[in-house]
Chain A
Amino acid sequence: MRVRADRDRCCGSGNCVMTVPDVFDQDDAEGLVLVRLAEVPAALREGVRQAAELCPAAAIEVEEDQA
């Protein structure tokens, strides 16, 4: 699974950082999303799906592995 975040859409609510702090962070200048792990390890995938679902600005895009 790969994850991308759109910083133009991001509103800095921090839901993703709360949900999966190993994958998401916010920068100090604008408080906007940073992806720490673009390639998501198996153990964190459910959290990343939830973070995408919770994102109020629809700024997180998840690309699932092909079956």
Chain B
Amino acid sequence: MPGTTATDLPSFPFPELNDNPFDPLAYQERLPEQGPITRVALPTGGWAWLLTQLADVREVLRSPAFSADIMKPGFPLLRPLPAQRDARDRAGVFIRMDPPEHGRYRRMLTPEFMIKSVRRLEPLIQRTVEGFLDDMIAAGPPADLVASFALPVPSLVICHLLGVPYDDHDFFQSRSRVLLSNTTSVADAQAAADELQDYLSRLVTAKERDGGDDLLGRLVAHRLRDGQLTHDEAIGMALLLLVAGHETTANMIGLSTLVLLRHREQFEALGVDPGRAPALVEELLRYLTIVRSGLPRIAVEDAVVGGQQIRAGEGVIALLPAANRDEAVFVDADRFDVDRGGQHHVAFGFGVHQCIGQPLARTELRIALAALAQRLPTLRLAVPPDEVAVRPSFIHGLQKLPVTW
């Protein structure tokens, strides 16, 4: 393998298969038979090691030998970095930081997303779910479940939690979508990020002036006022939470509904017994693994992963959807099996960067899917299955889900 040029390698990311939105990319067919760790060519030039086994993915994401800092030379990028203009672009963006710097920011937010904190949000989530279902039922059938339910529920919840006016959701949803689309140019992505930063800057300023009993209000009152956090850092953190907080859960609700309509017995059982929701949600997380292009890292020291020597300065991509279909761990991994007990999936990532909002995401999914099954037991697709299209995005999701009942 040494001496192979990047042009000889399979191109990553692999194209989405529109005819099967559940298949985590036919990556096996695209890779030469060289074992579980192989090299792929990146769209930004160069190459990276592609990790597809659960054990290797977990090891790398938890190892201090690998960095999440995209500014390190050689970092495996799927989209070119925009030219750095000012410090605001990086301030507070702790998903791109390594310990110990990363922990300082993350720990300002962890209490907000603890299970017991999320439990206090359950009545709001329940009301939100019921409210959007009421509206959808009153207006339909038919309906686009993505636009009338899957997207507005997490969007309203994250707005409430952060203290962002929900009336502005069209604005930040459209900009987030541009940011996350894998067909967006660097310039357009930068313009979308600029608009979101300006918006959040005004909001942080308003919280400094008026306070607020919400996450941003608390961040300003407890961290910004006493100098632990700068204005720009607060913007960066708010941007991460706002973008990550609605698109991911929204896509999971849409795709999960489609899975349940294909596994009708599970949908009906959930309607009768909402206690089935936690196990169902775990299997949906494993089966769907919406972070399709995986998590990139760069080796900062030499390491051996799964028997493969990886040198400092080389990039790796932890391919989460492949790891969650690892046959060595999940028996008959391509089968949707609610009773498999597959909690050790990596749908939320692994290591210190593992999704901070996972208790919130799980709760929203549980409540949304159970309410859907209870309120609309006759829910079904309003179009042929092959007309349900996926969205071109770094986060896997459906464009629309036309349903009737």
Binding site for B on A (CB under 8 A): 11-15, 17-19, 21, 26-32, 50, 53-54, 56-58
Contacts and interface: CB of A to CB of B under 8 A. Distances in A.
A58 B107 contact: no
Given A13-B355, A18-B359, A50-B343, A56 B114 contact: no
B111 A11 contact: no
B160 interface: no
Contact of A30 (B110, B351, B353, B354): B110
- Interface size on B, as a range, is 20 to 34
18 contacts: A11-B110, A11-B354, A13-B354, A14-B113, A14-B114, A14-B115, A14-B359, A17-B115, A18-B359, A26-B114, A30-B111, A31-B109, A31-B110, A32-B107, A50-B343, A50-B344, A56-B61, A57-B62
Tell me if A's interface is mostly helix, strand, loop or mixed.
Answer: loop
B218 to A, nearest CB: 12
B113 A31 contact: yes
A54 B344 contact: yes
Contacts of B359: 14, 18
B321 to A, nearest CB: 18
With a 10 A CB-CB cut-off, give which of A13, A17, A18, A56 has the most chain B CB atoms. Answer: A13
B136 interface: no
A30 B356 CA distance: 13
Contact of B354 (A17, A29, A32, A56): A56
B351 A56 contact: yes
Contacts of B114: 12, 14, 17, 26, 31
A31 B352 contact: no
Contacts of A11: 103, 106, 110, 351-354
Nearest to B111: A31
Contacts of B343: 19, 50, 54
A15 B114 CA distance: 10
Contacts of B349: 56
Interface in B87-111: 103, 106-107, 109-111
Nearest to B346: A56
A17 B110 CA distance: 13
A58 B103 CA distance: 15
B201 interface: no
Contacts of B109: 31
A60 to B, nearest CB: 13
Contact of B62 (A14, A18, A26, A56): A56
